[in-house]
Chains A and B, each alone.
Chain A
Amino acid sequence: MSIPQEHDYIGLSESSPMERISDKLSSSSSSSSALSTEENSNKNKTSSLNLKETELRLGLPGSQSPERKPLPGVSLFGKDIDTNTNGYSLSPSKNLVSGAKRGFSDAIDASSGKWVFSVNNGSDADLNTGAVLFSPRGDNGNTQKSSVSKKEVVGVITQSSKPVQEKGSQVSGANENNNAPAAKAQVVGWPPIRSFRKNTMASNLTKINEDAEGKSGFGCLYVKVSMDGAPYLRKVDLKTYSNYVELSSALEKMFSCFTIGQCGSHGFPGRDGLSETCLKDLLHGSEYVLTYEDKDGDWMLVGDVPWEMFTDSCRRLRIMKGSEAIGLAPRAMEKCKNRN
């Protein structure tokens, strides 16, 4: 089975992200979000795409995938939790108040499930803060993200049947401004400093400590990441990456749910619906380009300047459709076309 080539909008790496994902899966000791089919559970060790891992599924409240195995090393708030639950679900009798307008997170009808993004860190090597139960709605905003994007990520997403787009609402990992620099395990919400201050100081210190290790100081630089067509934004901490490759792979993982979601009808595929060719087409056909808004408010192509300069000036990221990026990324466009 051939592995789709990476959509290489940065031009820094040739290997496929999916390849990297499956490599990591096979090397991890417990990438065990085992899935519903036997066939797939045997695939963990292969280099094939473990697409089921990232498949979108509709989970009813109170239900859990029966085959999902608990993961070692999963912990919340630094404490080990009951590993039988790898997600949470609504009490069936819960209902949202009707008639009141909400931000995005509440517009999702409770009874149809919600976005849950389980991140299971297989490797414990430098995992000092534990894994995260993390909902893109941000309702787990206080758990430690522990440089999630750097680690092996196996995402399973339960999706609401109503993709919601509501303006003015921020559904990102918003307010998750506590982070864990690799040097020291951090306690959630400690020291007690407001997010606004943390963010402001973080961008101050990047200027001052140009040559410092980067582990001191506020150690976080959250920027919003939007993707054309995705119903909500995300936030990433640029300080948890040290180069463009890490950033791009993290973003790909973070937003893969949206690209996969476009495959199949009704916005999300059936359980067996996702095929490799489908994914390949997406990665090629989508031709997404990563851009960022710099301090002057201009939209730039990511990858041109040295990494430190980029983190210093990047205010937000946008994963743009290639068709919109014409003129911004002619080189990337060409590459995509050539691959097709």
Chain B
Amino acid sequence: MLRMASSFPEEVLEHVFSFIYDDKDRNAISMVCKSWYEIERWCRRRIFVGNCYAVSPPMVIRRFPEVRSVELKGKPHFADFNLVPEGWGGYVYPWIAAMATAYPWLEEIRLKRMVVTDEALELIAKSFKNFKVLVLSSCEGFSTDGLAAIAANCRNLKELDLRESEVDDLSGHWLSHFPDSYTSLVSLNISCLGSEVSFSALERLVGRCPNLRTLRLNRAVPLDRLANILCRAPQLVELGTGTYSAELQPDVFSSLAGAFSGCKELRSLSGFWDAVPGYLPAIYPICPSLTSLNLSYATIQSTDLTKLVSQCQSLQRLWVLDYIEDIGLEALAAFCKDLRELRVFPSEPFAQEPNVSLTEQGLVSVSEGCPKLHSVLYFCRQMTNDALATIARNRPNMTRFRLCIIEPRAPDYITLQPLDDGFGAIVEHCKDLQRLSMAGLLTDRVFEHIGNHAKKLEMLSVAFAGDSDLGLHHVLSGCENLRKLEIRDCPFGDKALLVNAAKLETMRSLWMSSCSVSFGACKLLGQKIPRLNVEVMDERGPPGSRPESCPVEKLYIYRTVAGPRFDMPGFVWTMDEDSALRLS
């Protein structure tokens, strides 16, 4: 057998490997034997680094010399909710600089929650001659000047997607930097930008790019220009409108409706800022073929929303505000039998009183009516154990379940009991649950349920829950596939962490803020487990200036082969052997 393997020509193996795309599969291949490791590493074209500090650019480049596509993630997920102070890290520039020399043929860069500067964008623009895809998801640190560099220099650019990034929007002029000879645009998402781009430049760009299939405009594009844009791109598959509001004028309406009707391939709609109900019927003709609808910025009320979704029989994904109310969700359950993903966002999360009639019942209805529903994000103000148990029984195929009850520690509003049993039912019935976000009043019991049943769980988010370290211990000891755990404002301390220290090396990361983990425990973890970076964030000053038993404000632990990082701001300390000595 060995002899056969060694006489198999490399080229053949390489050809076989070229059909394997999935990272996990590739990793498995590389562990078969040394020669397969070697062959595989030379032909791996795509790498994904879930935590940019888990490995260093030189390490990646050394192992994989011929990469064409890179995906990096930076800040912890809770950075989305302002729990990670600015300056924490996640800088992409060192990566770009290293790849500029190592991967001249790099084609794709996808970044999430990273700090990207204009210098980095300019370096990308001039270093990679065949650059095709730039996706900046929830990134920050760059301005429209950097975008201008990309537009001007990347002749083969196919995709520019700025989803939810925070861009220093100096002007809309950057779009005009795409040269007239540039025609390869396939996907453009500028929905996060505030300033106006030149509409004529936009129309010309859209008109000369025959392969354009995704166009997400920003709010500054007025409704009366949308028809023109659509007419130039009838092949569009995904559209994000600009502002969806204008005075009701028959000619504007009819040209808009006509333009929409002309887009026979349109499957996904988003945008709808400031939507006025009067213009909604313009999209009715294409509703039956829509598979994805993002109305989460549309402040339309229940009646209009209900009417709209009732026509979208092919809908697979719906993002909407809680204006839809229970009644709209019932309609959704009745008409959209192919629904797979539902996200309901709060329209007034800081209001004291509910402003809409959206309760647990809406979610129950959808769970009953939509057999393929497997991904849920639901903001509401009340929940019961019964409702959760019903949802669990209805939808054992649930894979992502995120519930947020606006009021922290809210109990079952009927029985006034904790929601332990409800979430227990979720993890018990939904055996393939990968992601769970819990809410409401929760004791250690819910964690016991999770530890016992949530065997496929990969990501867990916990807030204002639990009674003691036992809760954390259940999760760390029971959830075999846990990769990411993020916890805030829970009474978890040292014991569970220290007892389960080895578990931490099997996970991507652990975040704990406003808990009770002491500085001493952090030091111990950092010293004992070499391939973990134990980072303490504390804005009260060096943790060494307080007693060892004093709890740290925030703790971020992640496994790494790159050792401690050195780009931390003043309020972050790495606990390792050296720093423990320094700080004590």
Report which A residues bind B (CB closer than 8 A).
61-62, 76-77, 79, 81-82, 85, 87-91, 93-97, 100-103, 105-106, 110, 114, 133, 137-143, 166-171, 174-178, 181, 183-184, 186-197, 200-201, 204-205, 207-208, 215-219, 297, 315
Other A-B pairs, 11, CB within 8 Å; known A105-B87, A139-B570, A315-B194:
A100-B93, A100-B567, A140-B539, A141-B86, A168-B146, A168-B168, A189-B488, A190-B408, A192-B404, A200-B297, A215-B352
Known: A103-B141, A170-B166, A186-B350. A94 touches B568 (CB 8 A): yes
- Separation of A308 and B30 alpha carbons in the complex (Å): 63
| Interfacial residues, chain B to chain A (CB-CB below 8 A) | 78, 80-88, 91, 93-94, 97, 115, 117-120, 138, 140-143, 145-146, 164, 166, 168, 192, 194-196, 219, 273-274, 296-297, 299, 345-352, 355, 379, 404, 406, 408, 463, 488-489, 514, 538-542, 545-546, 553, 565-571, 573, 582-583
Contact between A192 and B81 (Cβ–Cβ < 8 Å)? yes
Pairwise interchain contact A133-B539, C-beta atoms closer than 8 A? yes
Give the chain A neighbours of B346 by CB distance below 8 A.
191, 193
Is B120 in contact with A139, judged by CB distance below 8 angstroms?
no
Check if B408 sits within 8 Å of A195, measured CB to CB: no
A204–B514 alpha-carbon span in the complex (Å): 33
**In the docked arrangement, what's the CA distance between A187 and B568, Å?**
26
Which B residue's beta carbon lies closest to that of A116?
Answer: B570
A97-B567 contact, Cβ under 8 Å, with A105-B86, A167-B145, A315-B194:
yes
For A95, what are the chain B residues with a Cβ–Cβ distance below 8 Å?
Answer: 566
* Cα of A193 to Cα of B164 in the assembled complex, Å: 12
- CB-CB under 8 A for A204 and B345, given A100-B567, A106-B567, A175-B82: no
| Measured CA separation A100–B141 after assembly (Å) | 14
B117–A139 CB distance below 8 A: no
Whether the Cβ atoms of B146 and A191 lie closer than 8 Å is no
Instruction: Out of A169, A186, A194, A219, name the residue touching B81 (CB < 8 Å).
Output: A194
A143 to B514, CA, bound (A): 12
Q: What is the bound-complex CA distance between A190 and B408, given in angstroms?
A: 9
User: What's the nearest-Cβ distance from chain B to residue A224, in Å?
Assistant: 9
CB of B192 within 8 A of CB of A196, answer: yes
In the complex, are the beta carbons of A105 and B117 less than 8 A apart? no
Residue from B81, B91, B164, B195 in contact with A100 in the complex, judged by beta carbons closer than 8 Å = B91
Determine which residue in A114, A133, A170 has the highest number of CB atoms from chain B within 10 A of its CB, and name it.
Answer: A170
Chain A residues lying within 8 Å of B565, measured Cβ to Cβ, are: 97
CB neighbours of A192 from chain B (8 A): 80-81, 404, 463
A191 touches B379 (CB 8 A): yes
A138 touching B91 by the CB < 8 A rule? Answer: no
Most chain A CB within 10 A, of B145, B349, B583, is at: B349
Residue from A94, A174, A189, A215 whose CB has the most chain B CB atoms within 10 Å: A189
B164: nearest chain-A partner, CB-CB: A196
Say whether A88 contacts B91, CB under 8 Å: no
Check if B142 sits within 8 Å of A297, measured CB to CB: no
Whether B582 contacts A91 by the Cβ 8 Å rule is yes
Q: Which of A133, A176, A193, A217 contacts B351 (CB 8 A)?
A: A217
Among all A-B residue pairs, the 10 with the closest Cβ atoms: A138-B86, A168-B118, A189-B81, A216-B351, A139-B87, A168-B143, A90-B570, A139-B85, A142-B82, A105-B87
Q: Which residues of B contact A96 (CB under 8 A)?
A: 566-567
Q: A85-B541, A89-B541, A142-B84 are in contact. Are A168 and B117 (CB under 8 A)?
A: yes
Residue of B nearest to A142 (CB): B82
User: When chains A and B are docked, how far (Å) is the Cα of A64 from the Cα of B195?
Assistant: 43
A168-B570 in contact given A91-B583, A105-B86 (Cβ < 8 Å): no
A188 to B91, CA, bound (A): 25
Q: Closest CB of chain B to A331's CB: distance in Å?
A: 28
Q: A167-B118, A175-B166, A315-B194 are in contact. Are A139 and B571 (CB under 8 A)?
A: yes
Assess A216 versus B352: contact at CB under 8 Å? Given A85-B541, A100-B91, A167-B145: yes
B569 and A139: CB pair below 8 A? yes
In the docked arrangement, what's the CA distance between A175 and B166, Å? Answer: 9
In the complex, which of the residues B118, B142, B566, B570 has the most CB atoms of chain A within 10 Å of its own CB atom? B570
- Measured between alpha carbons, how far is A93 from B489 in the docked complex, in Å? 31
Contact call A81/B297, Cβ cutoff below 8 A: no
Known: A89-B541, A138-B86, A168-B141. A190 touches B569 (CB 8 A): no
Across-interface contacts of B91 in A (CB, < 8 A)? 100, 102, 106
Are A217 and B145 neighbours in the complex by a CB distance under 8 Å? no
Docked-complex contact A217 and B348, CB < 8 angstroms:
yes
Q: Which residues of A contact B119 (CB under 8 A)?
A: 101, 168
Bound together, the chains give a CA A296 to CA B141 distance in angstroms of 25
From the candidates A89, A93, A110, A217, name the one contacting B350 in the complex (CB within 8 A): A217
Report the bound CA distance from A189 to B119 in whole Å. Answer: 31
Give Cα A110–Cα B568 distance, bound, in whole angstroms.
10
Q: Is the CB of B141 within 8 A of A177?
A: no
Q: Which of B296, B488, B545, B570 contacts A110 (CB 8 A)?
A: B570
Question: What are the residues of chain B within 8 A of A139 when measuring CB–CB?
Answer: 85-88, 539, 569-571
Complex Cα spacing A79 to B539, Å: 13
A-B contact pairs, 27 of them (CB 8 A): A76-B540, A88-B542, A91-B570, A91-B573, A94-B570, A97-B565, A101-B119, A103-B117, A106-B91, A139-B86, A139-B571, A140-B539, A142-B82, A143-B539, A168-B143, A168-B146, A169-B168, A174-B140, A175-B166, A187-B489, A192-B81, A194-B80, A195-B166, A196-B192, A205-B347, A207-B274, A216-B351
Complex CA gap A139/B79 in Å reads 12
Question: Which of A103, A178, A187 has most B Cβ within 10 Å?
Answer: A103
Minimum distance in angstroms from A111 CB to a CB of chain B: 11
Contact between B350 and A81 (Cβ–Cβ < 8 Å)? Answer: no
Which residues does chain B contribute within 8 Å of A176, judged by CB atoms?
A: 82
* CA–CA, A90 and B274, complex, Å: 46
A61–B542 CA distance with the chains assembled, in angstroms: 11
Query: Cα distance A181–B352 when bound, in Å?
Result: 11
* B195 partner, pick from A133, A166, A208, A297, beta carbons under 8 A: A297
Out of B115, B345, B488, B570, name the residue touching A114 (CB < 8 Å): B570
